[in-house]
């Protein structure tokens, strides 16, 4: 059985592909599952469900089921989740701003290693 230190596991949950997008989407307020899925785009129902359960278990997301027909489930950030989501969003924005530099570095590296090989 693979053992991961708690900090590393939490970091993996926060920075997973769908975790990042779910946290950022919830910064805008409470969302229903279908709203989150539409807003995130490209995520399967199963993957979004797993991501939200993980974030809920870690204390970042609050799930509230309403006893109506059809079932109505809302997701919102907890205070801890809001803090984490703001950090994740800052990293996401930094990444967007620096993509051109990363692409240039990759191209330089690829050109350098292609001639060295």
Query: What does the DSSP 8-state code read for residue 65?
Result: E
Element (H, E) at 1: none
pLDDT in the model for residue 70: 84
- CATH class for the region spanning 6-116: mainly alpha
Packed helices 17-26 and 45-57: angle between N→C axes, nearest 10 degrees = 70
* Contact between residue 42 and residue 93 where contact means Cβ atoms under 8 Å apart: no
Q: Note the pLDDT tens digit of each residue in 11-36.
A: 999 999 999 999 999 999 999 999 99
pLDDT in the model for residue 104: 96
CA angle in degrees (0–180, nearest 5) for 22-44-6? 50
Contacts of 81 (CB under 8 A, 6+ apart): 23, 26, 55, 59, 60, 61, 62
β-bridge mates for residue 64, sequence order: 74
pLDDT above 60: residue 94 = yes
- Give the closest residue to 64 by CA, choosing from 78, 54, 51, 50: 78
Domain ranges of the chain: 6-116
pLDDT above 90: residue 5 = no
């Amino acid at each position: 059985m693979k053992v991961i230190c708690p900090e590393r596991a939490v970091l993996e949950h926060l920075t997973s592909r769908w975790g990042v997008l779910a946290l950022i989407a919830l910064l805008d307020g409470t969302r229903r599952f279908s709203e989150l899925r539409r807003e995130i785009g490209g995520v399967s129902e199963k993957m979004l469900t797993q991501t939200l359960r993980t974030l809920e278990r870690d204390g970042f997301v609050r799930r509230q089921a309403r006893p109506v027909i059809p079932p109505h489930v809302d997701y919102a950030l907890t205070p801890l989740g809001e803090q984490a989501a703001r950090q994740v969003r800052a990293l996401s924005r930094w990444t967007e701003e620096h993509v051109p530099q990363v692409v240039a570095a990759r191209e330089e590296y690829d050109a350098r290693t292609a001639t060295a090989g």
